[in-house]
Amino acid sequence: MSAVREEARATEYEAVIGFEVHVELATATKLFCSCPTTFGAPPNAHTCPICLGHPGTLPLLNERAVEYALRAALALGCEIERRVHFDRKHYFYPDLPKAYQMSQVHAPIGRNGALTIEVGGRTKVIRIREMHLEEDAGKSVHLPDDAGTLIDLNRAGVPLIEIVTEPDISSPEEARAFLEELRLTMLYLGISDVRMEEGSLRADANVSVRPKGSPVLGSKVEVKNLNSISGVERAVAYEIERQVALLRRGERVVSETRRWDEDRRLTFPMRQKFGGEDYRPIHDPEVVPYVLEESYVERVRAELPELPHARRKRLREAYGLSAYDAGVLTANRELGDLFEAGVREGAPPKPLANWLMSEFLGYVNERGLSVRDVPITPRQWAELLALIEEGTISTKIAKTVFQRMAESGRDPREIVETEGLVQIADPEALRKIVERVIEANPKSVEDYRKGKEKALGFLVGQVMRETRGKAHPELVNRLLREALGEPGGA
Amino acid sequence: MDDLSVLAWRSRIASGEAAPEDVVRHYLEAIAARDPEIHAFLLVREEAREEARNLRAEDRQTLPFFGIPVALKDNFLTRGVRTTAGSRMLETYVPPVDATAWERLAHGGAVLLGKTNLDEFAMGVSTETSAFGPTRNPWDPTRTAGGSSGGSAAAVAAGFAPLALGSDTGGSVRQPAAYTGIVGFKPTYGLVSRYGLIPMAASLDTVGVFARTVDDAAYAFVHIAGSDPKDPTSFGKLPPAFADRLAELRRLAYPARAERLRALLSRGFSGAKVALVRELFGDGVSPEVRTAVEAAVRRMEALGARVEAVSVPELEHAGAVYAVVMSAEAASHLGRFDGVRFGLRVPAGDVDALYTRTRSRGFGWEAKRRILFGTYVTLSESFVDLYERALRARRFLASRLEALFADFDFLLGPATPTTAPVVGAAGDVDPVVELTQDLLTLPANLAGLPAVSVPAGRGSDGMPVGLQIVGPRYSDLDVLAFAFAWEEARPPEARPPFGGKVPGSSPREGGSGR
């Protein structure tokens, strides 16, 4: 009781959060049979005697899944278990065909890793306790009105990795940043499509709170059913508040499993299915232990791509980009790749980054495309930016040119030439048009001379209209001022 | 006609003296006449006649099993043919795939004669735990045929089939072979694919062969052995010399060359170094078994074998180690029988009740006992003390046996402590007593070693006695060669009276009591 009272007296609380994240590996086939893993097939279309658990059938280990798991473990800086074997976790559930789940209980493939996250401009290291490979279970669909339960075993046997963190996360923002960074890392590794809404990334958060500075951990609540990254942030925030409120009132936090309701934005207790589970894990006698040779591990390590954290750092340092720009370019691996390829073709980094992040992403998002769907090559990007830089086209025209490029994949220089979009930067050619505009708009000329600076803008616009936007705007500005003399003058 | 072996049938069929349907008819008639008394079969396939007729005549020279009827223990999956594993749980189960071992025989032209009786899920030593009643010994139907492959052993011994497959987890091929006076061979673990064998304990299970002669057993073994992409434990990591010899034998082992197979197997005893393991001649071994086996050993010695007594005291714990490992795996494998996807379902209001009722009704007492024991030894509070310890002890035991093979070619001993017990005598009471029937055979399973039981002679009760020969891993062909040498060398009085004229073959009153 005294602990409870002490907690109630505390004015400041801190949260202690850990995650268990399941990531579905994007292998073509299941972990122990050759059934496809594609999402969205009719129920039980992707099943065979092996994943249905028929007696006498034997598991055939998918070595690609082991490679993917190894890639993830190395990327997370884990120590690698060299002898891969599987254990059977026993429990009865209708969507678990063999009544055991193949997992790595005794020897996870990775241990003692870490993931660096960035929150509010500072970095933090989240320790990874372990990472293991296991098979997914199927799906039970409970019909309304107790009309029965249907079972879909398409997912049964699909390879997953489970990543378990140490309780190093202390805020909803960090929780979000952790999951985003983990998700991005998996994408960079090319081992999962990490779509939370399709269940290929599933996160459970373990949340507890305690008076700030207390060495004792509070009661742990496991929050399940988190199916979006913003949902995770909201759920963790809700749960922290709920627990703090309980403690402030002098009540206890019950250690339990709760579900997040995204619509109502709250957590509620889940019915406990098992009390004091004992999975009785035994070494699976049907899968031959698989030894990861040193040379193999080193080869996989050498083939690891640059990871998001390193890329952000490099983009800032090598190209002088802001943390924000580096973040945006890294968050979309293909966008970042396009950026770097464009720079290699000679595009100036900062302007290219701006173009990609505003005009290009806008175009892509508006149309629901992905980066690769747009047929503009890095060389063409460099060319477009060169056209702007050398003054051949204005920024405004460049936007038109970009639209044409995105639609057709044609070279920008060719578009500019065939469509006559070259900027008119010849003072002699423009001077005639300027004179014509002055003559045709005496009212505006007068307004300008009376000191209405706005009138100059109108006249510039008229010149641009005459030239169908091709006139060099700054030059037009200068020529008009020259022709009209200073505002407020005689 | 009665005592024809596989190889004899093969040459007759190859030469055109006999047609496959004649062979099948011969065996179906034998089954019809005497199986009601013996109960070797759970399912007899009349379709075999037509399948035999439909074989393509031009394959009769080239296919190794062309027209040979085969009986399969009913824990081998047969696509489209009911497979029960001797359990109510699978009483109506029709599997979607074929077991690889059977598939290889079938591709070789073999005809499936029927599915044979077994202890439920191969759990037992007398075929008395079968949900469908016991199998009786063709030599004396008051006695058991042993188990768990009792149906397959009885089928071959009674002349119902020239060849049968069984599974051997702790002796389930060698022990019934010994009780029924035939050859029962258990290969090195992993040499024959276990795909499609309903597991009892996967780390111990092997596919074994029953035949009336050693060369028949070898003939079948070389055809079913070898890596199978469907069974990772059979993946090709064979020692190259062994793989070459296996391939050579497989090439030779076609009907026209059966004599060559015999020649390759026949190596005599000279130079063979044999260890008699004291612990395998312990107090439990009955005088008649001891006498018969000792006589066999003396004769081998006289013919040039060097025999020496050794002691492996650790074998004393083999039974306990086996019980823990086997039941832990067995309990695990049996979880899938939950009434959800296949097999028996006893409807119930909720899913927990569905499991409970289905499993209560579907499993017999032996399966339940092993599930409970296996569950117990793997609970977190006993895991380290029992399960992990047993695994360590198993590895230690295996290394002790392996070390023996530095000095010896074979270990020799009785296959069973006694001759076949009377039906009902084992009683459904003492699992320890039951285990002792396997005590001499299970060390080979714990260590994954090849072993054969070959008839040594007969006890004073007139019942057959089996001699067990165990070799190091991948010495399968040497073990068979040694058994073949014994088969050739044994005195006439030690030869089993083959030809379906075994004692007790006359129809008896009372038929197949349960």
| Per-residue pLDDT, A327 | 93
The residue count for chain B? 514
- In chain B the domains, ranked by start, together with CATH numbers, are 6-318+392-489 (3.90.1300.10), 319-391 (no CATH)
| Per-residue pLDDT, B243 | 84
Which of A270, A296, A322 corresponds to the end of one domain?
A296
The residues of B annotated with a catalytic role in the active site are: 73, 148, 172
The answer, for A280 touching chain B at a CB cutoff of 8 Å, is: yes
| Per-residue pLDDT, B259 | 66
**Angle between helix A323-331 and A172-189 (nearest 10):** 50
| Per-residue pLDDT, B502 | 45
The answer, for A106 touching chain B at a CB cutoff of 8 Å, is: no
Task: At A81, list the tokens.
Answer: 């278990």
Q: What is the pLDDT of residues B315-369, one digit of tens each?
A: 989 999 999 999 999 999 999 999 999 999 999 988 999 999 999 999 999 999 9
Task: At A144, list the tokens.
Answer: 């309304």
Mean pLDDT of A429-433: 84
Backbone angles phi, psi at B95, to 5 degrees: -70, 155
| Per-residue pLDDT, A402 | 95
| Per-residue pLDDT, A267 | 92
Quickly count: other Cβ atoms within 10 Å of residue A100's Cβ: 24
- Report d(CA A347, CA B289) in Å as an integer: 92
Quickly count: other Cβ atoms within 10 Å of residue B253's Cβ: 22
- Report d(CA A167, CA B123) in Å as an integer: 47
Q: Given an 8 Å threshold on Cβ–Cβ distance, is A54 in contact with B97?
A: yes
Q: Which residues of A touch B86 (CB under 8 A)?
A: none
DSSP state of B385: I
| Per-residue pLDDT, B264 | 67
Nearest to A56 among B196, B332, B341 (CB): B196
The answer, for B446 touching chain A at a CB cutoff of 8 Å, is: no
| Per-residue pLDDT, B427 | 56
Q: Kindly state the percentage of chain A with pLDDT values over 70.
A: 96
Q: What is the pLDDT of residues B46-71, one digit of tens each?
A: 999 999 999 999 899 889 999 999 99
Q: Given an 8 Å threshold on Cβ–Cβ distance, is A99 in contact with B338?
A: yes
Residue A301 lies in a domain: no
Residue A111 lies in a domain: yes
The answer, for A92 touching chain B at a CB cutoff of 8 Å, is: yes
Residue A99 lies in a domain: yes
Mapped onto helix, strand or coil, the DSSP state of residue A487 is: coil
Mean pLDDT of B236-256: 74
Mean pLDDT of B221-231: 92
Measure the CA angle with vertex B164, ends B160 and B167; round to 5°.
Answer: 135
Residue A2 lies in a domain: no
Instruction: Give Cα A103 to chain centroid, integer Å.
Output: 27
Q: Given an 8 Å threshold on Cβ–Cβ distance, is B341 in contact with A56?
A: no
| Per-residue pLDDT, A484 | 82
Kindly give, in sequence order, each residue whose CB lies less than 8 Å from that of residue A490, ignoring residues fewer than 6 positions away. Answer: none
Q: Judge if A72 and A195 occupy the same domain.
A: yes
The answer, for B377 touching chain A at a CB cutoff of 8 Å, is: no
Query: How many A/B residue pairs have CB atoms within 8 Å?
Result: 94
Mean pLDDT of B79-95: 98
The answer, for B379 touching chain A at a CB cutoff of 8 Å, is: yes
Mean pLDDT of A344-367: 95
Confidence bin at B238 (pLDDT 50/70/90): confident
- Report d(CA B319, CA B280) in Å as an integer: 12
Distance from CA of A8 to the nearest CA of B (A): 38
Cis peptide before B148 (omega within 30 of 0): yes
Mapped onto helix, strand or coil, the DSSP state of residue B111 is: strand
- Report d(CA A45, CA B130) in Å as an integer: 36
| Per-residue pLDDT, B510 | 35
Distance from CA of B58 to the nearest CA of A (A): 34
Confidence bin at B497 (pLDDT 50/70/90): low
Backbone angles phi, psi at A172, to 5 degrees: -60, -35
- Report d(CA B357, CA B335) in Å as an integer: 14
Cβ A108 vs Cβ A78: under 8 Å: no
Q: Judge if A117 and A169 occupy the same domain.
A: yes
Mean pLDDT of A190-208: 94
Q: Is the pLDDT confidence value at B236 over 70?
A: no
The answer, for A278 touching chain B at a CB cutoff of 8 Å, is: yes
Q: Judge if A387 and A442 occupy the same domain.
A: no
Cβ B324 vs Cβ B377: under 8 Å: yes
Cβ A369 vs Cβ A359: under 8 Å: no
Q: Which residues of A touch B335 (CB under 8 A)?
A: 90, 92, 98-100
Whole-angstrom Cα Rg for chain B: 21
Task: At B144, list the tokens.
Answer: 């058991």
Residue A414 lies in a domain: yes
Query: How many domains does chain A contain in total?
Result: 3
Q: Given an 8 Å threshold on Cβ–Cβ distance, is B203 in contact with A61?
A: no
Q: Judge if A362 and A272 occupy the same domain.
A: no
Q: Judge if A325 and A463 occupy the same domain.
A: no
Q: Is the pLDDT confidence value at A184 over 60?
A: yes
Nearest to B336 among A98, A281, A283 (CB): A98
Q: Given an 8 Å threshold on Cβ–Cβ distance, is B199 in contact with A286?
A: yes
Q: Is the pLDDT confidence value at A27 over 50?
A: yes
Backbone angles phi, psi at B317, to 5 degrees: -95, 0
The answer, for B102 touching chain A at a CB cutoff of 8 Å, is: no
Q: What is the pLDDT of residues A381-412, one digit of tens each?
A: 999 999 998 878 888 889 999 999 999 999 99
The answer, for B387 touching chain A at a CB cutoff of 8 Å, is: yes
Which is nearest to B224 in space by CA: B209, B213, B244, B238? B209
Edge-to-edge order in the sheet of strand A221-226: A79-80, A110-119, A122-135, A159-165, A13-24, A201-211, A221-226, A256-261, A266-269
| Per-residue pLDDT, B239 | 81
- Report d(CA A468, CA A464) in Å as an integer: 6
Which is nearest to A110 in space by CA: A68, A170, A167? A68
Buried b (16+ CB within 10 A) or exposed e, A294-305: eeeeeebeeeee
Which is nearest to A23 in space by CA: A257, A179, A214, A217? A179
Q: Judge if A313 and A180 occupy the same domain.
A: no
Q: Which residues of A touch B231 (CB under 8 A)?
A: 58
Residue A103 structural domain: 7-296
Backbone angles phi, psi at B462, to 5 degrees: 85, 0
- Report d(CA A471, CA B454) in Å as an integer: 104
- Report d(CA A62, CA B235) in Å as an integer: 14
Quickly count: other Cβ atoms within 10 Å of residue B382's Cβ: 16
Mean pLDDT of B153-177: 97
Q: Given an 8 Å threshold on Cβ–Cβ distance, is B194 in contact with A97?
A: no
State the sign of the Cα–Cα–Cα–Cα dihedral B63, B64, B65, B71.
negative
Q: What is the pLDDT of residues A113-132, one digit of tens each?
A: 999 999 988 999 999 999 99
Q: What is the pLDDT of residues B421-467, one digit of tens each?
A: 999 876 555 666 666 778 899 999 999 999 999 999 999 899 999 99
Cβ B449 vs Cβ B185: under 8 Å: no
Q: What is the pLDDT of residues A246-273, one digit of tens each?
A: 999 999 999 999 999 989 999 999 866 5
Q: Given an 8 Å threshold on Cβ–Cβ distance, is A56 in contact with B342?
A: no
Q: Judge if A15 and A105 occupy the same domain.
A: yes
CATH number at residue A480: 1.10.10.410
Q: Given an 8 Å threshold on Cβ–Cβ distance, is B335 in contact with A90?
A: yes
Confidence bin at B513 (pLDDT 50/70/90): very low
DSSP state of B229: T
| Per-residue pLDDT, B512 | 37
Nearest to B232 among A61, A92, A282 (CB): A61
Measure the CA angle with vertex B453, ends B447 and B455; round to 5°.
Answer: 165
State the sign of the Cα–Cα–Cα–Cα dihedral A157, A160, A166, A170.
negative
Burial (CB count within 10 angstroms: exposed 0-12, middle 13-18, buried 19+), residue B29 = exposed
Confidence bin at A439 (pLDDT 50/70/90): confident
Q: Is the pLDDT confidence value at B503 over 50?
A: no
Residue A193 lies in a domain: yes
| Per-residue pLDDT, B514 | 32
Contacts 24+ apart (CB under 8 A), A399-408: A399/A359, A400/A469, A402/A355, A402/A359, A402/A360, A402/A363, A402/A376, A403/A363, A405/A376, A405/A380, A406/A360, A406/A363, A406/A374, A406/A375, A406/A376, A408/A375
| Per-residue pLDDT, B508 | 36
Q: Judge if A335 and A365 occupy the same domain.
A: yes
- Report d(CA B386, CA B377) in Å as an integer: 6
DSSP string of B128-164, one letter each residue:
-S-TT---EETTEEEEE--SSSHHHHHHHHTTS-SEE
Which of A377, A392, A419 corresponds to the end of one domain?
A419
Nearest to B99 among A56, A61, A287 (CB): A56
| Per-residue pLDDT, B504 | 40
Distance from CA of B113 to the nearest CA of A (A): 21
The answer, for A150 touching chain B at a CB cutoff of 8 Å, is: no
Q: Judge if A414 and A433 occupy the same domain.
A: no
- Report d(CA B104, CA B98) in Å as an integer: 10
| Per-residue pLDDT, B33 | 96
Q: Is the pLDDT confidence value at B73 over 90?
A: yes
Residue A18 lies in a domain: yes
| Per-residue pLDDT, B256 | 55
Q: Is the pLDDT confidence value at A76 over 70?
A: yes
Nearest CA in chain A to B121: A55
Q: Is the pLDDT confidence value at B74 over 90?
A: yes
E strands, B181-318, in order: 183-186, 206-211, 273-277, 306-310
Instruction: Give Cα B511 to chain centroid, integer Å.
Output: 26
Q: Which residues of B touch A89 (CB under 8 A)?
A: none
Q: Give the mutation candidate from A92, A141, A291 for the B interface (greatest B CB count, under 10 A).
A: A92
The answer, for B97 touching chain A at a CB cutoff of 8 Å, is: yes
The answer for B 185-244 residues in CB contact with A (under 8 A) is: 194-199, 201-203, 229-233, 235
- Report d(CA B101, CA B208) in Å as an integer: 10
| Per-residue pLDDT, A225 | 83
The answer, for A85 touching chain B at a CB cutoff of 8 Å, is: no
Distance from CA of B76 to the nearest CA of A (A): 8
Mean pLDDT of B150-156: 98
Nearest CA in chain B to A286: B202
**Angle between helix B6-15 and B258-265 (nearest 10):** 150
The answer, for A57 touching chain B at a CB cutoff of 8 Å, is: yes
Which of A419, A445, A464 corresponds to the end of one domain?
A419
Q: Which residues of B touch A90 (CB under 8 A)?
A: 332, 335, 378
Q: Given an 8 Å threshold on Cβ–Cβ distance, is B232 in contact with A286?
A: yes
Mean pLDDT of A310-319: 95
- Report d(CA A10, CA B327) in Å as an integer: 55
Judged by average pLDDT, the poorest of A77-81, A376-380, B203-207, B498-502 is B498-502
Nearest to B351 among A90, A94, A280 (CB): A94
Mean pLDDT of A190-203: 93
| Per-residue pLDDT, B499 | 41
Q: Which residues of A touch B75 (CB under 8 A)?
A: 56
Q: Is the pLDDT confidence value at A294 over 50?
A: yes
Q: Judge if A268 and A321 occupy the same domain.
A: no
- What is the four-CA torsion angle of B192, B195, B198, B201, rounded to 10 degrees? 60
Average pLDDT over chain A, rounded to an integer: 91
Q: Judge if A394 and A410 occupy the same domain.
A: yes
Cβ A170 vs Cβ A23: under 8 Å: no
Judged by average pLDDT, the poorest of A193-202, B156-165, B172-181 is A193-202
Q: Which residues of B touch A54 (CB under 8 A)?
A: 77, 95-97, 342
Q: Given an 8 Å threshold on Cβ–Cβ distance, is A278 in contact with B380?
A: yes
| Per-residue pLDDT, A490 | 43
Buried b (16+ CB within 10 A) or exposed e, A420-442: ebebbbeeeebeebbeebbeebe
Q: Is the pLDDT confidence value at B506 over 60?
A: no
Residue A489 lies in a domain: no
The answer, for A275 touching chain B at a CB cutoff of 8 Å, is: no
Mean pLDDT of B145-165: 97
Q: Given an 8 Å threshold on Cβ–Cβ distance, is B235 in contact with A288?
A: yes
Q: Which residues of B touch A92 (CB under 8 A)?
A: 335, 338, 352, 355
Average pLDDT over chain B, rounded to an integer: 90
Q: Which residues of B touch A280 (CB under 8 A)?
A: 375, 378-380, 383
Q: Judge if A13 and A156 occupy the same domain.
A: yes
